[in-house]
Amino acid sequence: MKCPNCGNELGEGKLLCENCGEEIKIVPDFDIELEDKLKESINVMIEDIAVENLAETDAAGKDTVSEPEYKFEDDIKDELRDYLPKGLPKATVNKKIVLLTAIVLAVACIVSITVLSVNYYRYHSFDYQYGKAVGFAAHNNYPEAIGYLERALAIDSENLDVRFLLAKYYDKNSQQESAVSLLKEILRTDAVYPKRDEVYDMLLGIWESKADYAGMADILKKCDVPRIVSKYNKYAALKPVFNKAGGVYDELISISLKGNTEGFVYYTMDGSMPTDNSPVYETPILLESGEYTITAMFVNMYGVESDVETQHYYINLSQPDSPVIDPESGKYKKPVLIEAFHDNNTKVYYTTDGSVPDKNSLRYLDPIEMPYGVSNFSFISIDESGLGSEVINRSYHLEVQANFSPELALQVLKNSLWAEGKLLNVEGNVPNKLGINQYKVNTIYQSGETVYYIVYEEYMDTLGKTHDTNNIYAIDVNTAALFQAYKVDEGVYNLQPFSE
């Protein structure tokens, strides 16, 4: 069947054209055939009544005058009395009027029942209500469309397509709260609804227009549609991602934390809940031997906080052996080299200022000359996983019996350099430079029976920064004889006369 208004093909049982909204009447407003039948029935009844009355008057002998042939009108008379023959007794007329009245009332009831049946059918017809809604919406009359579609939804409450369409009508009619409620209801009702991505898109679009970023982040946490998560990712605040899951590890590991979009990851390592006052993750977190609990949350650029993510780690590493240091702590009167013996899978680092060494400290590569005077060393072995051994400390006191103390020997050196014009004065001022030279007894060196102070020269600029000049001097501890020294190896020097 086609729509009589626009010619659109109608679906079976449809009462409204979804194209133009024209109502398809299942019965005419007034049935002509029914009207003709009613007229015919009434005329037949009137004829029967007239014949009956004539027979009665003849039998009574009250009326011997023959009546002219009665011709009925084509249309129904205006009054019931007009249907009766003239000259009938009043009682008979009244009786017939009552009968005709009953007939007319019966016919009216039939018509009324028919109309009521049609209206009842329409009111309880999903297709009728849905079609009317579509028709009004086609003319942008959303208040009327909403009324009909709400009735359609009441008839078929399980129809998610109607709910989704009603949400669209609510949105068009500036009823966003009602639209949001319906959209959320759809997502809760059916986890495999084919139009879930469209539902998410519309819901998030409404919240985006209202700047409801918290609502958007909340729904995105539960969204299982990749396209939607990708499209609205900047509004999401998902839990931070750990590069390694919690558990037991037999190696040194580093933990990195990442948010789903631009923002900040805040974390704690003491089991407490992170806040925006907690440390901000910037570089990987190194986990050495022991137990760790890392708790983190992500805050996006719209200030929305994610749920908290916690991971527990246990690093079970075998600590490497400490290096063996020779010699032991003590006092020494002859030059001594300090050596560290260690496993080939480890590296040895050391400090001389009392601090705990780590992989950023000086690395031990060759034997170390024992410094003159008092010195303190700390050594540690660190394996390939980054785990360190226990720290080994050594304290040394190196001094010799000499005619010239270190201070006096240095004074002799400065005077000699001044005399040769290499210094402007004994304070160490240097020609053509603003800084000064400094001199320090670093260690001692023995060649045969002779012991020498080994002195290193450094230049200190006006900013207080020191620079190695690569000049080394040797001073006989008993005669103060001066030599230019050249280092051959640890603890080994080649001496040249100072004048050269």
| pLDDT for res 395 | 97
> What is the chain's mean pLDDT, rounded?
85
Q: What percent of the chain has pLDDT over 70?
A: 78
pLDDT category of residue 65 using cuts at 50, 70 and 90: very low
| pLDDT for res 120 | 57
In this structure, of 9-13, 46-50, 390-394, 495-499, the range with the lowest mean pLDDT score is 46-50
Residue 62 scores a pLDDT above 60: no
Helix (H) or strand (E) holding 114: helix 90-123
pTM equals 0.47
Residue 461 scores a pLDDT above 80: yes
pLDDT category of residue 27 using cuts at 50, 70 and 90: very low
Which tokens in the block code for residue 123? 């009111």
Question: What's the CA angle centered on 345, arms 340 and 346, to 5 degrees?
Answer: 45
DSSP state of 260: S
CB contact at 8 A, 286 and 386: yes
Average pLDDT over residues 181-198: 90
Helix (H) or strand (E) holding 249: strand 247-249
Residues in the chain: 500
- Cα 438 to Cα 456: distance, rounded to the nearest angstrom: 8
Q: Is the link from the previous residue into 240 a cis peptide, with omega within 30 of 0?
A: no
CB contact at 8 A, 485 and 493: yes
| pLDDT for res 72 | 46
| pLDDT for res 151 | 93
Helix (H) or strand (E) holding 100: helix 90-123
**DSSP assignment of 181-222, as one string?**
HHHHHHHHH-TT-TTHHHHHHHHHHHHHHTT-HHHHHHHHHH
CB contact at 8 A, 360 and 388: no
Question: What's the CA angle centered on 424, arms 418 and 430, to 5 degrees?
Answer: 110
- pLDDT tens-digit profile of 284-340? 999 988 899 999 999 999 999 999 999 999 998 888 999 999 999 999 999 999 999
**DSSP assignment of 301-317, as one string?**
TTSPBPPPEEEEEEE--
Residue 48 scores a pLDDT above 80: no
CB atoms within 10 A of CB 275: 11
Which tokens in the block code for residue 459? 């230049």
Of 482, 464, 406, 462, residue with least CA distance to 439: 406
pLDDT category of residue 102 using cuts at 50, 70 and 90: confident
